[in-house]
Amino acid sequence: MSAKGGASLCAALALLRPLPLPAQGDWVSEPAVQKRLAAGEIVVVEAGNSVDASRPRGSVQAAVRIPATPEAVWRVMTDCRQATIFVPGLQRCHLIARAADGRWEEIEQEVRYSWLLPAVRYVFRAEYDRPRRMDFRRVSGDLKEEEGAWLLTATADGSATVVEYEVYLDPGFWIPQFLVTRTLRKDVPAVLSGLRECVERAGANTPVTQAGH
């Protein structure tokens, strides 16, 4: 995911067709999950069958609660300059093309998922429904497939935003299955944790505008 275009991946950071990530109300709405999110946890679950010995790939869903508005989260999430801060292994993020109406962008990223592997370069297209949703998919580069989605939902009291992230990754080259799964389960929480820290830092550095100014 993503990062201009969302932290790739991971950045971040996926699937065979655009992810059918619905409005919040499925696993994230479960009381136990809501309780963990309210406590500051980053909740991660495997999405579908992520283990296939003959085809190393992975798919996970994750969520985090960030004390900010969806718009504030969106500004950080889609900023290439900040992507290298919160996306593990992201070494380069470069905007290639952008729609005149801002509805989509194509971004090139270079990521090193593990010290055991060489860095990979790829271009992905991010489709925007600001500040609610982003869908992204790989269009060229070293990875075979990487697609995913971000969903931002304001809490009922407006005090925070629940950020959902789902990613599917098929590297397209041989890599131990355990490494694909382990990388996703380690990097996805790191992406969301880093995003939350960046948003909180940006909020702390934003001057308070007084009435009448």
Domains and CATH numbers, the chain: 30-204 (3.30.530.20)
Question: According to the model, what pLDDT value does residue 113 have?
Answer: 66
Q: Please give the average per-residue pLDDT across 89-93, as a whole number.
A: 90
Q: List the one residue out of 26, 59, 30 whose CA is nearest residue 45.
A: 59
Nearest Cα residue to 87 out of 187, 209, 162, 171: 187
pLDDT of the residue at 30? 92
Strand 161-170 and strand 58-66: the pairing is: antiparallel
Question: Tokens 């003959």 label which residue?
Answer: 54
pLDDT at 159: 95
- Determine the 3-state secondary structure of 38 from DSSP: helix
Q: At what angle do helices 70-77 and 177-204 cross, to 10 degrees?
A: 120
Beta-carbon-side half-sphere exposure of residue 50 (alpha carbons within 13 Å): 21
Q: Please state, in angstroms and rounded to a whole number, the distance separating the CA atoms of residues 58 and 181.
A: 6
- b/e 172-205 (16+ beta carbons within 10 angstroms → b): beebebebbbebbbebbbbbbebbbebbeebeee
CB 162 within 8 A of CB 153: yes
Query: Is the whole-model pTM more than 0.85?
Result: no
Band (pLDDT 50/70/90 cuts) for residue 173 is: low
* Count of CB atoms situated within 10 Å of the CB of 76: 25
The confidence score (pLDDT) of residue 116 equals 59
What are the tens digits of pLDDT across the range 6-54? 333 333 333 223 344 444 447 898 999 999 999 999 998 865 544 444 4
Give the residue carrying structure tokens 């971000």: 150
Cα end-to-end span (Å), the chain: 37
pLDDT confidence of residue 45 = 83
